[in-house]
Structure 1
Amino acid sequence: MPISATRSKHRFVQEYPVNASAKILYPYLASASGLRQWFCQDVQMVNPHIYNFVWDNQPHLAEITSQRTNRSVRFVFLGPERRHLPDANYLDFTIESSELTQEVFLKVVDYSEETDDIELTEMWDNLVQNLREQVGG
């Protein structure tokens, strides 16, 4: 999910049922150690709000710009010198639950240059399957 200022962006949204409570699921979405277990090659916390995501041995810095414990987290990817870019790539993870069925869902919003919905669906299906294996759901 590298950053580029020249290509058009695409907002991919998908919801996945997860058999885990928000309290169990949230640390896998909002901590470097949790993300490292299912999401990418490596994740390091640079400071409490900046994370370094590593894909294909390439670092990608992102800032947590919003966070609600056991509910949601947004990572906005930064440009050179850790600066915010106009129309920056971002990832949103939101935990939603149905009061009627008690089911828990993970809503993923991936805003980036990747425009192939089939490829994005396959990628996120695989990632969320990794997550489900980690949380037992």
Structure 2
Amino acid sequence: MTKRIQYTLEYPVRCSPAILYEFLATPAGLQEWFADKVDLRDNVFSFSWNGSVEKAQIVEQKPEEYIRLRWLNSQKDEYFEFRIQKSEVTNETVLVVKDFADKKEIQDQSRLWDYQIKELLHRIGSL
């Protein structure tokens, strides 16, 4: 199996870190933009899309700062993360997404995140 590469995407967001975190770390928030249905039990999110279910375990989190998840069917050292930062220059809230993909899939995966984050920004009224 080839080693997948970590990549990082950044998105400016016009809302408070507290509100943004709710959309990134709660079943109700994630269900607004990330999946059709989201459940959480024993630190494991179940994400449903068109009848298929994928599960991701919460690896680490700090309220209003970040949440790191690992798909249960992925490599142990791979994860995806939503991190909330403040730009020191503009004082703007920035959502940083970290994920892993094969080198040839990074562009497609980045486009998928762009689409998902656009939906998130629409839901929180940040577009």
TM range (shorter): 0.7 to 0.9
Residues 11-22 of structure 1 correspond to what in structure 2 (within 5 A)?
A: 11-22=6-17
> 2:95, 2:23 → 1: CA distance?
11
SS at match of 1:116: helix
Counterpart residue number, 2:91? 102
Counterpart residue number, 1:3? none
Q: Is the 8 A contact 1:10 1:115 kept in 2?
A: no
Q: Is the 8 A contact 2:101 2:109 kept in 1?
A: no
Q: Is the 8 A contact 1:90 1:112 kept in 2?
A: no
Q: Is the 8 A contact 1:89 1:112 kept in 2?
A: no
**CA separation of 1:44/1:114 partners in 2, compared to 1, >3 Å: closer, same or farther?**
farther
Flag as ranges the 4+ runs of structure 1 deviating above 3 A: 85-89, 112-115
Task: Indicate the larger mover: 8-17 or 61-70.
Answer: 8-17
**Is the counterpart of residue 60 in structure 1 residue 54 in structure 2?**
yes
Residues 60-99 of structure 1 correspond to what in structure 2 (within 5 A)?
A: 60-79=54-73, 86-99=75-88
> 1:88, 1:58 → 2: CA distance?
24
Q: Percent identity over the alignment?
A: 29
Name the amino acid aligned to 1:59.
Answer: V
> 1:60, 1:10 → 2: CA distance?
21
TM-score, scaled to structure 2: 0.87
**What number of residue pairs does the alignment pair up?**
126
**Is the counterpart of residue 129 in structure 1 residue 118 in structure 2?**
yes
Deviations 1:36-91 (A, max 9, x none): 111122211123x1111223422221111110100000011114xxxxx6535421
Q: Is the 8 A contact 1:114 1:120 kept in 2?
A: no
Name the amino acid aligned to 1:93.
Answer: F
